[in-house]
């Protein structure tokens, strides 16, 4: 499996780092926006290099000629985690002004799996409308909303719940959380 992972400037880069750690069986192309790099520096607790070393290839977000920008580059899915509401809006309206939004547009036009993990609260009407627009275009909106039925004990348990849901969408087996009634 080949997965493009985009990291944008929303809080919650711990989700991205955990996802990258759990995609060891996949080929991962990583794109981190400039704002994403700032959030990593502020809240990740690990250096940017710790994200990049988990990827098979890393591309600059301003490199719209990188392979994931083309429909002829075969990849199975894309996950934008965390996904800022600015990125949600750009993807919803077809604004492909960087590699993350262009690769997402490729997913939509090629009917590939696109998973967006927004981490914003509260949500404005425009956010909800953009997410509905994307759902209608075939994207999966998977908000960073952890469940509690698995009796989380630590923050990492909450992160694993959300990342496990992303892995479920990708068809990747995992044991990151206890499923309902297990």
Q: pLDDT (tens digit, 9 = 90+) per residue, 75-116?
A: 999 999 999 999 999 999 999 999 999 999 999 999 999 999
pTM of the predicted structure, to 2 decimals: 0.97
**What number is the average pLDDT over the span 9-29?**
97
Q: What is the pLDDT of residue 67?
A: 98
Residue 181 confidence class, pLDDT cut points 50, 70, 90: confident
DSSP one-letter string for 88-149: HHHHHTT---SHHHHHHHHHHHHT-EEEEEE--SSPPHHHHHHHHHHHHTT-EE--S---ST
d(CA 133, CA 52): 31
Domain borders along the chain are 2-170
Q: What is the pLDDT of residue 182?
A: 72
For tokens 């969408």, name the residue.
169
Residue 64 confidence class, pLDDT cut points 50, 70, 90: very high
The partner residues of 114 in beta bridges, in order of sequence, read 78
**What number is the average pLDDT over the span 145-173?**
96
- Is pLDDT above 90 for 51? yes
Residue 7 CA: distances (Å) to CA of 14, 123, 125, 150, 176: 10, 20, 24, 27, 21
- Is pLDDT above 80 for 135? yes
**What number is the average pLDDT over the span 133-158?**
96
d(CA 125, CA 7): 24
Two structure tokens written together for 157: 């348990």
* Letter string b/e over residues 70-84, b meaning 16 or more CB atoms within 10 A of that residue's CB: eeeeebebbbbbbbb
Residue 69 confidence class, pLDDT cut points 50, 70, 90: very high
Q: What is the pLDDT of residue 87?
A: 98
Q: What's the CATH number for 2-170?
A: 3.40.50.1950
Q: What is the pLDDT of residue 74?
A: 97
d(CA 180, CA 171): 18
């Amino acid at each position: 499996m080949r997965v493009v992972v985009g990291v944008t400037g929303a809080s919650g880069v711990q989700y991205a780092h955990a996802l990258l750690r759990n995609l060891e069986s996949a080929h991962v192309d990583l794109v981190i926006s400039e704002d994403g790099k700032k959030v990593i520096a502020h809240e990740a607790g690990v250096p940017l290099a710790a994200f990049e070393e988990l990827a098979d290839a890393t591309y600059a977000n301003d490199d719209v000629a990188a392979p994931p920008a083309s429909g002829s580059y075969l990849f199975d899915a894309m996950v934008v985690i965390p996904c800022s509401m600015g990125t949600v809006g750009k993807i919803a309206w077809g604004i492909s002004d960087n590699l993350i939004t262009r690769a997402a547009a490729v997913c939509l036009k090629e009917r590939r799996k696109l998973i967006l993990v927004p981490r914003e609260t509260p949500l404005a009407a425009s956010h909800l409308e953009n997410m509905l627009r994307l759902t209608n275009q075939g994207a999966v909106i998977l908000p960073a909303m952890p469940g509690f039925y698995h009796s989380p004990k630590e923050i990492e348990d909450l992160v694993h719940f959300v990342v496990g849901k992303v892995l479920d969408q990708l068809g990747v087996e995992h044991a990151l959380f206890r499923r309902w009634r297990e």
